[in-house]
Structure 1
């Protein structure tokens, strides 16, 4: 229902003007502010979601403590904790960027939230940027909690590789967010839920994210081309030796470019 007209009086005359907002009101906030607001909302929603909290923090922490206390990765030359923590941080990227955003986006798409938000001043680009901000915010929390737990159980990273690690976190988050959006935008929400959780388990356990690749067979070669293996190898190199694994970075970046192109091409808002 439209609003009734408003009467204004000037110099003994009267005229009517509708109670409509000024033309520039819809653009009164910059895109950056809208993106930050959307990112803040999605971050809080993800943190308050019990299932997302389980995948993002509790399961990675349980995996970390289990690997460290069992001595699964201990060798005569390398302490298992120094291998486990970077791998668990790679798993954290998968949980927040891939599984978390994939599931959330899939159900937002189902209930028409995405289609509605894309028509607001936020726009499709602002919506995607807001999701990226949410991923980075949750990832920051994961790094603080998991990294702190790792330090508590004896992890001693090479601090010279911290800047390289930041680069890996950013590219990894972008790549796996694009992969999550690609799945969420092309299949049903129930399939997205099942597929992202299944891939999280597979990529984390045998996809090179948590456990370094062993051997030189064809299966090892195939796994080394997965984005999970590239991210895990890159973080292990950064935190263990303070160096940049250029080959793994190229693999992860290629996956990011392909996933982004696929999401832009096939993503459906409804």
Structure 2
């Protein structure tokens, strides 16, 4: 008789899928540039030069800039990278095929989120090391809050990535994801806080999840604060975007 084996336990399937997602990003030169190289270069450039004038509210430049760069890294990993990869997987039939395996649709989505968190762990370690080398002194009292903000931001922007990747052609996603990343970095309150943006841009940015994430990380890591408003806004965005993603995402 030939022995048969069933599907691996759910946790093992999720772990395998998450590991695959992390390796796919870290082995891709273009995605590695977006998720690690560009944030690291931006961090060094902002700290070592005076190209961008920032009001740091009494903090050192590196203490003020580092949380924003971490927020940028989350945007790159959870939105830009994930949107592009998912869009091409959808066109090539990879998502449809994986959805029929024991992993299932929910398992596939959960694996993607876990994979993004794995990539972000690498980002935090690498960018944190660069920032410490530059003299960064984060407030230990805010580390747990910063982790919470990172998780909520990841949930919101991964959902946004699925909305974009599940409704547009891959070529459109490639263009839109990169354009949105640039717009959010420049005018979305990520590096430059929303209240330092000019005119109407400041009012609009304060409503965006990008500004909520950047401000939450700055408040937590610079002042050890628990920014209730920003965390609530992030939670609302995450819930709304996941509800939208479940309605509009197409698997093929």
- TM-score normalised to structure 2 length: 0.95
- 2:91 equivalent in structure 1: 110
Moved more, 95-104 or 207-216: 207-216
Listed as ranges, the gaps of 5+ residues in structure 1 are: 1-7, 9-18
How far does the alpha carbon of each residue in 1:63-118 deviate from its partner, in whole angstroms, 9 at most, with x for none? 11111111433658232111110000000000000011111100000000000000
Q: How does 1:239-250 map to 2 (within 5 A)?
A: 239-250=221-232
2:207 aligned with 1:228: no
CA distance in 2, matches of 1:81, 1:46: 27
**More displaced 10-residue stretch of structure 1: 64-73 or 54-63:** 64-73
Are residues 217 and 205 of structure 1, via their aligned partners in 2, closer, same or farther at CA, if it must alter by over 3 Å? Answer: closer
Q: How does 1:1-270 map to 2 (within 5 A)?
A: 22=4, 25-27=5-7, 29-71=8-50, 72-73=53-54, 77-213=58-194, 214=196, 217-270=199-252
Q: Mind listing any 5+ residue stretches in structure 2 that lack a counterpart?
A: none
Q: Is the 8 A contact 1:97 1:135 kept in 2?
A: yes
Rounded Cα–Cα distance in structure 1 between residues aligned with 2:217 and 2:107: 30
Higher RCO (C-alpha under 8 Å, 6+ residues apart): 2
Q: Which has the higher helix share?
A: 2
Q: Structure 1 residues 230 and 106, CA, compared in 2 at 3 Å: closer, same or farther?
A: same
Moved beyond 3 Å, runs of 4+: 215-218
Query: Cα distance, 1:168 vs. partner?
Result: 0.7
Q: CA deviation at 1:217?
A: 4.2
TM norm structure 1 = 0.88
Separation in 1 of the partners of 2:184 and 2:221?
Answer: 21
